[in-house]
């Protein structure tokens, strides 16, 4: 083992001092660079622009709607900025034009176009074809939103220098639900938000200026996200007051041109708290009537309202248990009010007892979601969706996938991923989460012994669910760069791209994002992609390897090292470390039995010390520190080496970033450099604390 107290202390001090000195750099000098995020549309150099010489010089739009207007405008802006050409508006298909419109709207004007029958809602088709004796570029779709997505896809290709000659590409989304949740409070603060105050609320009201909210919807649309829940799941009951709904309508109005449906989180006890009833019992007819009237009123003002998100019986929130009712009863009373309007209720499976007795070795918070929801399978209405966090605990740096994904067969489900880096460095550390999400989505649950990856379980490909998909907790804020750190925006981009197509590789996604955000200088693209792609493992290695969790301060800021905070309380994020060993015994044989919630083939892997992967060992097993891993190292040596290597890698990030001096604009160069220097110091702090 290595002993480096002196050097590490010095490094830590240097990093802290440099962070303090450099703090002003964190304020962006040129907010326009960042607020547009990956929609920069940088001018192409003349050689690259030559590839788009044949792009028609005019566009024609068939159909009329706010979304289609956005599509045409966006196309014009992008072409103007990147190619320096003003795209003329044509009155019809005269000569070579870019044709925009839904398949239905193009049917009469372009009968020769054999419209792709495989187009699904929100999907698009980009094709080059001869119409009216001229070669046209057609962007068509099953609905208006798809046309907008087709425009964004075309512009992204141009921005990244991808050829569009003879293009003929159909793209459909993997699932209908591709939503973000914002945990914004009405006072303007954001729970677990690290990008500044709310873009939506201030002082208990919807903000007067919703410009940023509109820009946010544009960003979301550019990556195929079609819904946004605007307020914290720890919902203020006041959001359902009539005067607040009138305010929320303004948010829906700025989202609408980008095809982003607005939805809200609600408190289950609203009928009692603000409705004047003496109960919120979900099976009481007066309660059902209250929800029905409330929802009818919302749809009168917001006809495209998306629905509600509900957090109940969790972390102190009221829930159906107050009346001895089930979560299905609670979800259904709301679902039935939404149903006539086409709305959906997302009922969160994040339900657990945070007063567990830690002295009982059979207690296990990880079992809670499955224990609570599996018995209710088939009891939820068809416009209710159970929203399940990716892992059974709470967005830790590494967790196995929640067994509930495989447990529900007759219930709609959506996966909840956390884009905001609550437990993964809070945007002060680089932690690109797409590789983690890919592992989760690709994980084969082996339900009934067949191939059932999580992405297919949540999208409804398995068990043919009516609706389902992907939800990301984004928590963007008013900061110039939305998420606090320019590099963290890759997580928002990556979430959208994976929700559209979970088959994309992490490499493809980061390559796209980097080119769109920083331009196509090969060294810049390679360096940033490498930094991002290694960052999750680096963060894991100096915080909490082997599946022990982040070992962070779980009762405080969820950021600093604080392994003792997990033990001796009811929160259930236990790692059971003592002087002899570490890890939670979740086996069926001697532990909490959590492993029994997985299908048989998965059980076999996790139950056996031999088959269990090292990176989840301590999640499933309690072992002595001298236990030998598959690598041959003992657990204690691995923990020790991993923290040293991780801190060294974090230190290397600084040097790697420095190779980009002069190749990235000076503001972002300095800002990101200061962040890497700070992270290097924090990694040493973690290393030494653990």
Q: Would residue 191 show up in a list of annotated catalytic residues for this protein?
A: no
The reply to whether 353 sits near ligand GCV by the rule CB under 6 A is no
Pick one of 116, 233, 430, 524: the residue that binds ligand GCV (CB under 6 A).
233
- Which residue, 290 or 395, has its beta carbon nearer to ligand GCV? 395
Residue 158 host element (H or E) = helix 144-159
665 near ligand GCV, judged by CB under 6 A: no
Question: Which is nearer to ligand GCV, 185 or 592 (by Cβ)?
Answer: 185
Number of residues that bind ligand GCV (CB under 6 A): 10
Place of tokens 């609320």: 201
Minimum CB–partner distance for residue 472 and ligand GCV (Å) = 13
Residue 192 beta carbon to ligand GCV: minimum distance, rounded to whole angstroms: 5
The DSSP code for 156 is H
Contact 501, 434 (CB under 8 A): no
The residue written with tokens 């994976």 in the block is 498
SS3 content of the chain, % helix, strand, coil (to 5): 45, 15, 45
- At residue 28, the 3 state secondary structure works out as coil
Angle of CA points 621, 645, 391, to nearest 5°:
40
Question: Would you count residue 183 as binding ligand GCV (CB under 6 A)?
Answer: yes
- Which residues is 307 bridged to in the sheet? 263, 344
* Stretch in the footprint of ligand GCV (CB under 6 A) among 5-13, 231-239, 256-264, 329-337: 231-239
Mask for 332-351, x = binds ligand GCV (CB under 6 A): ------------------x-
Q: What is the DSSP letter of 400?
A: P
* Residue 381 contacts residue 335 (beta carbons within 8 Å): yes
Reply yes or no on whether 135 is catalytic. no
Asked whether position 191 contacts ligand GCV by CB under 6 A, the answer is: yes
Q: Is 553 in the site for ligand GCV (CB under 6 A)?
A: no
Q: Min. distance of Cβ 201 from ligand GCV in angstroms?
A: 15
Q: Are 206 and 254 in contact (CB under 8 A)?
A: no
Which stretch in 18-26, 51-59, 228-236, 511-519 sits in contact with ligand GCV by CB under 6 A? 228-236
Q: How far apart are CA 253 and CA 250, in angstroms?
A: 5
394 near ligand GCV, judged by CB under 6 A: yes
What contacts 95, CB < 8 A, 6 or more positions away? 56, 58, 132, 134
Around 410, how many Cα atoms within 13 Å sit in the side-chain half-sphere? 8
Q: Which of 30, 315, 560, 661 is catalytic?
A: 315
Residue 77 burial (CB < 10 Å; 0-12/13-18/19+)?
A: middle
Looking at the Cβ atoms of 226 and 573, the one nearer to ligand GCV is: 573
Min dist CB 582 to ligand GCV, Å, is: 23
**Closer residue to ligand GCV (CB): 149 or 350:** 350
CA dihedral of 96, 100, 105, 111, whole degrees rounded to 10: 30
Q: How far is the CB of 266 from ligand GCV (least distance, A)?
A: 14
How far apart (Å, rounded) are the C-alpha atoms in residues 288 and 280?
A: 9
Nearest distance from C-beta of residue 394 to ligand GCV, angstroms: 5
Strand partners, 290: none
Contact segment (CB under 6 A) with ligand GCV among 229-237, 364-372, 618-626, 631-639 equals 229-237
488 closest CA partner among 671, 353, 259: 671
Quick count: other Cβ atoms within 10 Å of Cβ 214? 19
538 C-beta neighbours (distance < 10 Å), count: 23
Q: Which is nearer to ligand GCV, 559 or 657 (CB)?
A: 559
CA distance 97 to 99: 6
Of the listed 281, 313, 364, 394, which one is catalytic? Answer: 394
Q: How far is the CB of 319 from ligand GCV (least distance, A)?
A: 13
Segment 35 to 94, residues that bind ligand GCV, using CB under 6 A? none
| Residue 311 within binding range of ligand GCV, rule CB under 6 A | yes
Q: Which is nearer to ligand GCV, 183 or 678 (CB)?
A: 183
Annotated catalytic residue, options 74, 215, 267, 422:
422
From the list 95, 165, 164, the residue with the least C-alpha distance to 134 is: 95
| Angstrom distance (rounded) from CA 528 to CA 519 | 11
Site membership for ligand GCV, residue 192 (CB under 6 A)? yes
Which residues lie below 8 Å from residue 26, measured CB to CB, with a gap of 6+?
Answer: 671, 674, 675
Active site (annotated) includes residue 394: yes
Please identify, among the stretches 103-111, 226-234, 573-581, 647-655, the one whose residues bind ligand GCV according to the rule CB under 6 A: 226-234
Q: Binding segment for ligand GCV among 110-118, 150-158, 227-235, 601-609 (CB under 6 A)?
A: 227-235
Q: Nearest Cα to 502, choosing from 451, 457, 418, 437?
A: 437
Chain position carrying tokens 């921005």 = 159
Q: Out of 234, 321, 608, 615, which residue is the one contacting ligand GCV (CB under 6 A)?
A: 234
- Smallest separation (angstroms) from ligand GCV to the CB of 234: 5
Cβ at position 195, least distance to ligand GCV in Å = 15
Stretch that binds ligand GCV, among 232-240, 338-346, 444-452, 512-520 (CB under 6 A): 232-240
Active site positions, annotated: 315, 394, 422
Q: What is the contact surface with ligand GCV in residues (CB under 6 A)?
A: 183, 191-192, 232-234, 311, 315, 350, 394
């Amino acid at each position: 083992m290595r002993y480096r107290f002196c050097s590490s202390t010095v490094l830590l001090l240097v990093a802290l001092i440099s962070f303090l000195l450099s703090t002003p750099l964190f304020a962006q000098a040129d907010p326009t660079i960042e607020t547009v995020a990956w929609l920069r549309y940088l001018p192409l150099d003349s050689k690259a622009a030559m590839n788009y010489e044949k792009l028609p010089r005019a566009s024609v739009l068939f159909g009329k709607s706010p979304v289609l207007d956005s599509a045409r405008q966006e196309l014009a802006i992008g072409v103007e900025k990147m190619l320096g050409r003003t795209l003329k508006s044509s009155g019809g298909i005269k000569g070579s034009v870019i044709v925009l419109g839904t398949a239905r709207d193009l049917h009469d004007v372009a009968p020769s176009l054999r419209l792709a029958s495989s187009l699904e809602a929100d999907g698009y088709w980009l094709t080059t074809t001869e119409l009216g004796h001229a070669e046209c570029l057609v962007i068509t779709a099953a609905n208006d939103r798809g046309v907008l997505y087709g425009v964004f896809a075309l512009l992204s290709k141009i921005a990244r220098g991808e050829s569009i000659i003879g293009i003929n590409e159909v793209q459909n989304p993997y699932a209908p639900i591709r939503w973000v949740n914002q945990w914004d409070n009405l006072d303007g603060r954001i729970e677990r938000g690290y990008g500044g105050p709310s873009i939506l609320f201030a002082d208990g009201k919807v903000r007067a200026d919703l410009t940023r909210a509109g820009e946010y919807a544009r960003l979301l649309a550019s990556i195929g996200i079609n819904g946004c829940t605007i307020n914290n799941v720890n919902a203020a009951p006041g959001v359902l007051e009539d005067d607040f709904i009138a305010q929320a309508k303004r948010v829906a109005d700025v989202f609408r041109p980008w095809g982003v449906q607005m939805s809200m989180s609600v408190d289950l006890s609203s009928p009692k708290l603000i409705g004047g009833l003496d109960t919120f019992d979900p099976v009481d007819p007066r309660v059902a009537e209250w929800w029905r009237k409330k929802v009818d009123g919302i749809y009168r003002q917001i006809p495209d309202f998306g629905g509600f998100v509900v957090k109940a019986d969790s972390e102190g929130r009221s829930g159906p248990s107050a009346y001895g009712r089930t979560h299905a009863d609670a979800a259904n009373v709301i679902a039935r009010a939404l149903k006539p309007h086409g709305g959906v209720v997302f009922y969160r499976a994040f339900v657990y007892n945070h007063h567990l007795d830690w002295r009982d070795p059979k207690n296990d918070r990880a079992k809670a979601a499955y224990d609570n929801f599996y018995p209710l399978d088939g009891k939820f209405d068809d416009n209710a969706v159970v929203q399940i966090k990716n892992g059974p605990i709470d967005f830790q740096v590494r967790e196995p996938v929640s067994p509930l994904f495989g447990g529900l067969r007759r219930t709609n489900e959506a996966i909840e991923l956390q884009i905001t880096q609550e437990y993964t460095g809070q945007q002060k550390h680089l932690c690109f989460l797409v590789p983690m999400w890919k592992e989760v989505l690709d994980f084969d649950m082996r339900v009934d012994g067949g191939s059932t990856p999580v992405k297919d379980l949540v999208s409804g490909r398995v068990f043919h669910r009516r609706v389902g998909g992907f939800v990301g907790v984004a928590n963007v804020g008013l900061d110039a760069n939305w998420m606090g750190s320019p590099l963290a925006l890759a997580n928002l981009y990556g979430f959208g791209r994976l929700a559209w197509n979970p088959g994309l590789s992490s490499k493809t996604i980061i390559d796209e994002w980097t080119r769109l955000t920083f331009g196509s200088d090969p060294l810049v693209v390679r360096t940033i992609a490498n930094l991002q792609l290694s960052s999750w493992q680096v963060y894991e290695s100096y915080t909490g390897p082997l599946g022990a969790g982040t070992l962070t301060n779980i009762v405080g800021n969820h950021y600093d090292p604080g392994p003792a905070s997990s033990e001796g309380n009811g929160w259930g994020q236990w790692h059971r470390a003592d002087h002899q060993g570490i890890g939670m015994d979740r086996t069926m044989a001697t532990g909490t039995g959590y492993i029994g919630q997985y299908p048989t083939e998965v059980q076999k892997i996790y139950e056996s010390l031999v088959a269990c992967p090292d990176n989840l060992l301590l999640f499933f097993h309690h072992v002595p520190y001298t236990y030998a891993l598959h690598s041959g190292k003992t657990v204690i040596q691995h923990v020790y080496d991993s923290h040293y290597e991780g801190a060294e890698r974090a230190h290397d990030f600084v040097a790697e970033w420095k190779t980009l001096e002069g190749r990235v604009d000076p503001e972002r160069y300095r800002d990101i450099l200061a962040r890497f220097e700070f992270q290097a110091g924090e990694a040493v702090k973690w290393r030494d604390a653990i």
